[in-house]
């Protein structure tokens, strides 16, 4: 049964679907001796090379949880000296599920399962991510209200969020979308500056028990729960 090339590469665990599209656009993917184009469909018996290496379906996937420190960049670009791949040093190919700003810390999931990456990242699936945030001045009731109801950033209004104030300058927030530097931009739009941002949860996976800079394999029950939570999720385009 034929399927789109980017979807095939994602399902093999080689990379995410977005990264597959970038590789195809760059001319780095060869199918049956021909340079592939965006939208190309492939069959199971097709010979596929990415940057000269054959791509085959993996028997099992890797799922890791990292407590990312500040200064590490959520990128697979090995030319970036602060890239998360070199920081983790895992012996086989993995990539981060989404991103966490270089100047933020906390939970980052990494995997070789490109299919689950697409399901988790798509905003329409409403998968939760929880953060602890410190700001530079006392939080007001108006600030909490505006953050909960939505703030205009990057030309759109953010989705409603769950907020709980922790102290005069600290709050917890649960988001179901992942716009670029979203929390920092939301706070800035309301006249606040984020001084510390820590992600403590992605869906059912918590950062608890991981020291800053440490990583671990997800437990079998955590993987099973993630798969169940994304079973009926649509995939990112």
Among 97, 76, 192, CA closest to 143: 192
Give 192: exposed, middle or buried? Use CB within 10 Å, 0-12, 13-18, 19+: buried
With the CA atoms of 66, 71, 75 and 79 taken in that order, what torsion angle do they form, in degrees rounded to the nearest 10?
-130
Helix, strand or coil for residue 87? helix
Q: C-alpha distances in angstroms, 190 versus 40, 57, 142, 144, 151?
A: 45, 48, 10, 10, 8
Catalytic residue among 28, 46, 101, 134: 101
Q: C-alpha distances in angstroms, 235 versus 16, 125, 194, 195, 227?
A: 11, 9, 31, 34, 13
Distance CA 218, CA 224 (A): 10
Task: Tell me if residue 101 is catalytic.
Answer: yes
Distance CA 161, CA 12 (A): 34
Give 83: exposed, middle or buried? Use CB within 10 Å, 0-12, 13-18, 19+: middle
With the CA atoms of 237, 217, 101 and 10 taken in that order, what torsion angle do they form, in degrees rounded to the nearest 10?
-20
Q: Among all residues, which ones are annotated catalytic?
A: 101
């Amino acid at each position: 049964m034929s399927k789109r090339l980017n979807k095939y590469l994602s399902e093999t665990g080689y990379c995410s679907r977005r990264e597959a599209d970038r590789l195809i656009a760059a001319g780095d993917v060869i199918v049956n001796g021909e340079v592939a184009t965006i939208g190309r469909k492939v069959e199971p018996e097709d010979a596929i090379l990415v940057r000269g290496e054959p791509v085959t379906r993996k028997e099992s996937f890797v799922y890791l949880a990292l407590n990312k420190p500040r200064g590490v960049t959520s990128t697979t670009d090995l030319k970036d000296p602060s890239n998360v791949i070199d920081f983790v040093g895992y012996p086989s190919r993995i990539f981060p599920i989404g991103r966490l700003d270089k100047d933020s810390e906390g939970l980052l999931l990494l995997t070789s399962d490109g299919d689950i990456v697409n399901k988790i990242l798509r905003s329409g699936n409403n998968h939760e991510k929880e953060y602890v945030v410190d700001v530079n001045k006392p939080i007001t009731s108006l600030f909490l209200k505006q953050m909960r109801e939505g703030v205009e950033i990057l030309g759109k209004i953010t989705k409603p969020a769950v907020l709980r104030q922790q102290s005069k300058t600290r709050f917890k927030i649960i988001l179901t979308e992942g716009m670029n530097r979203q929390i920092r931009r939301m706070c800035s739009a309301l006249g606040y500056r984020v001084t510390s941002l820590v992600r403590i949860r992605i869906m059912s996976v918590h950062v608890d028990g991981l020291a800053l800079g440490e990583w671990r394999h997800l437990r079998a029950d955590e993987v099973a729960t993630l798969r169940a939570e994304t079973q009926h999720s649509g995939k990112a385009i």
